Structure formats: structure tokens, C-alpha cells
Structure 1
Amino acid sequence: MDIRHLRLALFTGNYNYVRDGANQALNRLVGYLMKQGASVRIYSPHSETPAFPAIGEVISVPAVPFPGRSEYCIPIALPSRVRRDIKKFDPNIFHIASPEYLGHRAVSLARKSNLPVVASVHTRFETYPRYYGMPFLEPVIEAILRRLYRRCDAIFAPSESMAQLLREQRMSYDVRIWSRGVDRNLFKPEARDPHLRHKFGIKEDEVVIGFVGRLVMEKGLDVFSDTIDELVRRKIPHKVLVIGEGPARGWFSRRLPQAIFAGFQTGESLARAVASTDILFNPSVTETFGNVTLEAMATGRAVVAAQATGSESLIDDPSMGRLIRPGAIKDFADALQSYCENKELRKEAGYNGYKRSECYGWDNVNQILADNYLSIIQARQQSGQAPRLKPRS
């Protein structure tokens, strides 16, 4: 089967109305598949003010704002007009990219139509309640995710560490890898910009600890700020540069009044900002891959990250950076202090990370997913029926 015969129906709760690593990866995937001659149709909530132009044709599905996080939408239906469009499009595989109502309904439709369906895992949703004082919900969310993923022909994790976690959680009998790439034309050591540092009041010999990402509590903002407090108590000279925006901006700026907030950045400006730091500090445990970690590595920055899914598959500790037990403030501070005080150690970790980043190209990782689509379609055509669900164990 040739990729030009691929007809992919992609279902996601967020395709382009908020810019994050997951939906940017989906847009890159769609662009790559279309260039190869595949047909793709996207079913997702629509926004009058999208964060960036969508790649491919998007069919709008009904949605409402998420309570307390109105920048996100919750799909609430798969109406008849959308079902008619799906039938007219005549896909030969479904791809579910978010595990909400739309995803569950799409899986049911695929199984009713005897079409193969896969899911990609982009974040650890089951961990989110712990950041909002409701950790008792984690087992419930995990059970809901398990029900969805076990009804799919296969699920895709962005890293082997995340794939292993999904196996341990008994999410699927078939867990495969769809990795992530980095645009090395943008993210490179040469992107470092002394003028940008000067603009932010940073001297060339000052060590800058960077935070990159959406400013939301589940990114580990509390751990980041507690660790910076510990460095201040130790009197370790440093500057903090926060690259990103989000609903927790006010909380974070009050918590770290000495930090420099660069705001939302993208493209070349993002690459310059990342390359103009000296250390990336990523304490988050919710990522399944860690796009910001890979981008920092591609610019030659040393990385201190939580020992969690995603980062574990990218960083060899200690040669490329440090992996620290999640929430271990003292250990995070120790790692950052060693890089702040030892320029050569920092440069060595950055160089080793840069060499590792050379393995990650977008076309390669997207072609691997396309090959998996085709093999799953062929397997379904040969068997003639959906895979049976494994009994709970």
C-alpha cells in the first residue's frame, strides 16, 4: 500500500486555537502527509482567533470553554453534519489525538465502521489533578484513559520512557513510538543573541536559567520557583529568563519578582531566546516527550530536568544534563548550582546534548508514523475485523 492511498481522519480537541507542542506536532504531521500525496481531514473545535494558521482542512465540531481554563475548549458532540462529512471523506484510518468526548465518540464510530483507529498520547492528563488539589481523581482519569486506548488498534507514545509507562498502566496491548523532531534551521547554537541579552539587562558573563513553556501550574512552576529561592538563599549568582505566557503568569511573576519575563515567543524569536539562556530548567512531569528540552539541546544549552517520561529518553545523565527526582528542590538546586559555577561543565553538557539532537528530524519521525498507519490498515484488511479487547488484569 502506498502513502498516496492513505485517507486519514484526525480528531483532536485542539488543533490550532492554542499554540503548544502537541498541536504544532499535529500540524507538522498533516503538512508532511499532504506533501507525500496523502489525504487528511481534521475534526476539531474552531476559533475565530486561532494561535496560528491550520495546515489542512479543518471541520469544526461543537465545543464549550473548559471551566477555569477558558483558553481551552471541550468538544461536546459529534453531530450528524460531521458524521456525514466523515462518510463523504471515506477515511481508511482514524487518529485520535486527545482523550475527551470527541475522541471516545470517534473510536466508537471507527469500530462501528470496522475501520482501524489509533491514538497518540501527548501529555499525562492523569497527573493534572495533583496540581489543582484533587489527586484523588488520578485513578478515575487513568481508568477513563485505559477504556479509550484499549479500544484502539494501537497507541503511539513520543518516547520509549512514556511507552513503558503506558505498558505498565495497561493502556494497550500495542504501544508504538511516534517521536518528535526539532527544526535545526532555527534551533542551533548560532541563534544566541548578545543584543537580546543586553535588551533584557543581562551581561554576557551572567548565567541565565531559562524556563520555556506555557505558564500553567502543571508545568511545575511551584518547583521551579522553590528551587530558585534555594539558589538565592545560597547566594548563587544567576538570572532567570521566563519564555512563555499563560494563565499563571500573574502567580509566577509575583513568586519570582526578580525574573525577566520575555512573553510568548515563536519561530526565530523563540530560538534566539532559548539560545540566549545558559541552562534550561524543566521541572515538569506532565510531558510525554519534552519538546522544549530537545530545542534547548539543539541550541547547545545544558539542561536540568525532572526524571520523568520524555526527558529520560532524551538526556543521558550526567553527560548531557541532569535528571533529578521530581520535586526534589535541594537536588535541583545542587544541579543548577554546579552549572552556574562551572562554565566548562555547562559547555560540555550543552555540546553533548547538541550532538544527541542531531538524531531528531521531523521528516524522519513523521515517515515512521506514516509507515505505521499503512501497516495497521493492511493488517485490518487482512484480518477483516477489529482487534479484541484484552481482559482487565
Structure 2
Amino acid sequence: MRFLLITDTFPPDINGVARTLATLAEGLKTRGHEVEVVTTLEADRDQKDESCKRHTVMAMPLPGYPGLRMGFTTTWQMLALYEEFKPDALYVATETPLGIAGIRAASKMGIPVVSGFHTNFQTYLEDYALPGLENVAQGLLRSIHNQTARTLTPSADTAAMLEKWGIHNVGVLGRGVNTELFDPARRDAALRKSWGADEQTPVAIYVGRVAAEKNLELLAKAFATFREAHPDSPCVVVGDGPKLKSLQADHPEFHYAGSRTGEELAAHYASGDVFVFPSITETFGNVVLEAMSSALMTVAFDYAAPRQLIQNGKNGLLAPFNDEAAFLNQVRAASVTWNDQPQRQAARQAAHRLGWQRVIEQFETELTQVIAEKTAKDLA
């Protein structure tokens, strides 16, 4: 079958949504389907031989977030693309002018659409100086998703939220992790030494966008709390984003590794000990899976991926959602149990059960199901 993925973010972007969509696209190709992608950025030079044909559209940076873009195209341009490729179904991953044009064009041609809810954009508005618009954003998102046959989101928490908003036919499509890449065997003594740590010195690490919605104020408090027990412990931030410079200015005592991918990223995870993840805006949180696969002691709030993956005190530590004091108490606990090998190996085992193959197979089933439903409706 022919599937078209429509998304504002795709590699070489470095974020969880881009990595997820690239994995799903490649997985569909491996299963014998023809897959093309409409997105906002050309491939890197070393990606020119990528297996999925890429169509790029005009884009502008998101206000306040220059590292991400919003795509723009017209319904007529999307119709022309559909006439050429003749997709059997679409997956629309982002609720932007690009996604809206894709959905409208599909409606005109009778092509079934599955949409994805990957990012809690409505919760970002206050962080980016647009408070009071959350209800407006919810209404817009409800309107967009209810024009599609199915909406997929990565966690039961988020699915319940969407249903509460009045979005119909919501399903959960989880996430996977490459356990061969994110492996504790990639621990790098030289990298740890560059941070000032030996094997008796625990390293607290954060991996993710350095952005307002990631709760950076609590991250700084958590690092400080960890260092109450281990004053010489390095605190490492891996990632880039619009708040990086201000975080560096406010906290020059942290180590800043910048954006990392592939084996470099895996080595950074494996060279840490405690993964601190204070975000309260995730639809899932792929980085939690990657940290657990790397056998780190993870501290996170009890929702989305952490709720699904972490058994408190057995393979990580959970705090009640958005309870800052409880989160810091769990960081204190991690500062004591950071080298609890049974817990850390249990984290690795929990992640090991969540490979990508089952996710790709479910994604294929979701797409083929909407095609079958559309065919049955046309024949009725």
C-alpha cells in the first residue's frame, strides 16, 4: 500500500517526534509499503539516500522557538501531490497549516486520514507569553482531529484528555526503544572523566529540549538537591533549545553537552547514573525509555511514559504529578540509591520489552483499518 506521512518535524530535526516518525516510516517500508513524507526541512547531505521520498514545503520558525518550524502549503498543492502519489491513506502528525491543508485535500479526494497527537502545544501557550488561550487551542485541536478517521496518541493519560475534549475515535499508539543502541555497555569512562566524575561519583543527567515547557526551574532545583548529598557530582544537560543560553548564564556549574544523536547520545545516557526528568507537558516522553534502556535510575512525575514504565522503588522513582516537593524528595532518595544495581537492571529489563516492532505493526494495522472502513462505507 501507499502511505503519506505529513509532519512539520522530521530528521535532521532532533526531537522525539521526529525520531518516532522516521522509525515508523522506515518500519512501514520494511514491511513492504511505499512511503513518502511531506515535511519542512530537506534531508542532510548524508541522508540523501533515505528510503522514503521527501517533499518539502515552505516554513517559518515557531514564534519563540526558532529550532522548530511551521509548514505552509495550500489545499491545491496537496491535491496535486495526492494525484501524483495516489496514497491509500495519510498520517497527519502535526496540527498546523500544513496538516490542515493535508486533511482538507484528503477530504476532497476521499482519502482516509489518521491523525497523531504528539505534542501538548496547548499547554505551551503560557510558557510562551500567550496565557488564557488554552481553551481556544483545545477547540481548534478538537476541530482538526475530528475531521480524521482516527487520532493516535502515545499514552493512556493523553488519550483520556483528548476524549474529555470531545475528540472522537482516539487510540493509543505507544513508543519503542532501540535497546541495542541505548545500552549500559556504552558507558564511557573518558566521557565521565571529562565531566569530573570517577566511578564512585554519581552523575545526574537530563536529556531533552532546553525549553520553557520542560520545567527547567525544577530541573535546576533537582540538580541542586542531588548535590546536597554529592557536592562533587556533575550535573549534565544534553540538548539544545531556546532557553539554553539563559540556563547557561544562570547555572554555569552545569555541564552542557549540546545536541547529541546516535552512538554519541547513547554514550551520554550510559555514562550517567540518575536521569532527572521534571517535565509535566509530555504526551509520552521517549527520553524516559532511552534512559531506562541505558539502566539509569530515573526520577519523573507519575504520568505518561513514567506511569506506564516505572514501578516506584523497583525500577525508578515517581512523584505525584506536578508535586514539586515530592519530586525533590525522590531526587534525594535517588542520591542515596543511585547505584542500586537491581533497580537499574530492572529499568533496563522494563525497556527491553518495548521494542519498536510491535509499535510498527500496530501502526500498520491502524492505517489499513481506516482503509478497510472507507472501502466498506463506499460499497454500502
| TM-score where L is the length of structure 2 | 0.93
SS in 1 for 2:125: helix
Which residue in the other structure is 1:391 paired with?
none
Offset of residue 269 of structure 1: 1.1
Number of aligned residues: 378
Which residue in the other structure is 2:141 paired with?
145
- The reply to whether residue 274 of structure 1 matches residue 269 of structure 2 is yes
SS in 2 for 1:384: helix
- The reply to whether residue 239 of structure 1 matches residue 217 of structure 2 is no
- Structure 1 unaligned spans of 5+: 1-5, 387-393
Which residue in the other structure is 1:3 paired with?
none
Offset of residue 253 of structure 1: 1.4
Conserved? CA contact 1:302–1:347, under 8 Å:
no
Offset of residue 81 of structure 1: 4.3
* Counterpart selection for 2:195 from 193, 197, 200: 200
Conserved? CA contact 2:75–2:101, under 8 Å:
no
Residues 132-169 of structure 1 show CA distances to partners (whole Å, capped at 9, x for unaligned) of 24331111111111111111111111122222222222
Offset of residue 259 of structure 1: 0.9
Which residue in the other structure is 1:389 paired with?
none
Structure 2 distance, partners of 1:47, 1:292, is 25
Offset of residue 183 of structure 1: 0.9
Q: 1:303 to 1:368 in 2, by over 3 A?
A: same
Structure 1 distance, partners of 2:281, 2:293, is 21
SS in 2 for 1:130: coil
Which residue in the other structure is 2:124 paired with?
128
- The reply to whether residue 68 of structure 1 matches residue 64 of structure 2 is yes
Residues 70-94 of structure 1 show CA distances to partners (whole Å, capped at 9, x for unaligned) of 2222222226444212112111111
* Counterpart selection for 2:16 from 10, 21, 24: 21
Conserved? CA contact 2:78–2:105, under 8 Å:
no
Larger CA deviation: 237-246 vs 209-218: 237-246
SS in 1 for 2:67: strand
Residues 263-316 of structure 1 show CA distances to partners (whole Å, capped at 9, x for unaligned) of 221111111110111110111122211111001111111110122323222222
Identity level (%): 27
- The reply to whether residue 353 of structure 1 matches residue 347 of structure 2 is yes
Offset of residue 326 of structure 1: 4.2
- The reply to whether residue 286 of structure 1 matches residue 281 of structure 2 is yes
Conserved? CA contact 1:13–1:45, under 8 Å:
yes
Which residue in the other structure is 1:214 paired with?
209
Conserved? CA contact 1:161–1:313, under 8 Å:
no
Structure 2 distance, partners of 1:124, 1:52, is 29
Conserved? CA contact 1:161–1:312, under 8 Å:
no
Offset of residue 252 of structure 1: 1.2
SS in 2 for 1:320: coil
SS in 2 for 1:176: strand
Q: 1:226 to 1:52 in 2, by over 3 A?
A: farther
Which residue in the other structure is 1:115 paired with?
111
RMSD of aligned C-alpha atoms?
Answer: 2.2
Offset of residue 254 of structure 1: 2.0
Larger CA deviation: 282-291 vs 58-67: 58-67
- The reply to whether residue 46 of structure 1 matches residue 65 of structure 2 is no
SS in 2 for 1:131: coil
Which residue in the other structure is 2:358 paired with?
364
Conserved? CA contact 1:18–1:51, under 8 Å:
no
Larger CA deviation: 333-342 vs 159-168: 159-168
Which residue in the other structure is 1:375 paired with?
369
Superposed, 1:308-327 pairs within 5 Å as 308-327=303-322
Residues 107-155 of structure 1 show CA distances to partners (whole Å, capped at 9, x for unaligned) of 1222222221111121111111122243311111111111111111111
SS in 1 for 2:9: coil
Amino acid across the alignment from 1:113: M
Structure 2 distance, partners of 1:115, 1:336, is 49
| TM-score where L is the length of structure 1 | 0.90
Structure 2 distance, partners of 1:133, 1:68, is 9
* Counterpart selection for 2:298 from 299, 303, 308: 303
Conserved? CA contact 2:112–2:371, under 8 Å:
yes
SS in 2 for 1:146: helix
- Structure 2 unaligned spans of 5+: none
Residues 204-235 of structure 1 show CA distances to partners (whole Å, capped at 9, x for unaligned) of 21111110012111112122113334455x45
Q: 1:50 to 1:108 in 2, by over 3 A?
A: farther
